[in-house]
Amino acid sequence: MSRPYWVLDTGALLAYVQGVAAVGEALVAVADAEGTVAVPSTCLLEAYCLLDPGEHELLRMLRRNPAVHTVAPALDLVNDDEAPTIGSMARHAGRLGAGHAAWVALVSQAGVITSRPDQVQAVLGESWEILEV
């Protein structure tokens, strides 16, 4: 996978399902540039938790987009274990999904699309590229 341009957090996924134009426009721009977008698995699970079952198909359609890649944390006790770092970032952000999104953005040097920029900024700072939806 190429380095993603954007990371979609839980709020961005919910905004996509609700038809917020800014999310779709960002996805089109990335696809036109042959880039990618990352979706942290924690954010994906949080979004499914908050959606009605009838809305699940919209999120499934997003996941089928070839430019969208789901990113799971490395959970390896012998080698790279991202759990402690993501957990610490989540404590500062105030939510597990926000912490995972901040970690993916940091290691990818990607911007974050979010409905709660304050949570991402609590971890990555105010100068980080953020698109609020």
Yes or no: say if 47 and 17 are a contact pair by the CB < 8 Å rule.
yes
Phi-psi group of 38: left, alpha or beta (phi > 0 → left; psi -120 to 50 → alpha; rest → beta)? beta
Tell me the C-alpha distance between 62 and 6, whole Å.
14
DSSP 8-state secondary structure symbol assigned to residue 54 = G
Residue 62: its pLDDT value, please?
96
Residues of the chain with pLDDT below 50 are none
Residue 78: its pLDDT value, please?
86
Tell me the C-alpha distance between 58 and 126, whole Å.
31
Tell me the C-alpha distance between 2 and 69, whole Å.
10
Residue 23: its pLDDT value, please?
97
Residue 80: its pLDDT value, please?
84
Q: Provide the whole-model pTM.
A: 0.95
Residue 1: its pLDDT value, please?
59
Residue 33 has a CB neighbour count (10 Å cut-off) of 10
Residue 8: its pLDDT value, please?
98
75-106 pLDDT per residue, tens: 988 888 999 999 999 999 999 999 999 999 99
Q: Is 75 helix (H, G, I), strand (E, B) or coil?
A: strand
DSSP 8-state secondary structure symbol assigned to residue 20 = -
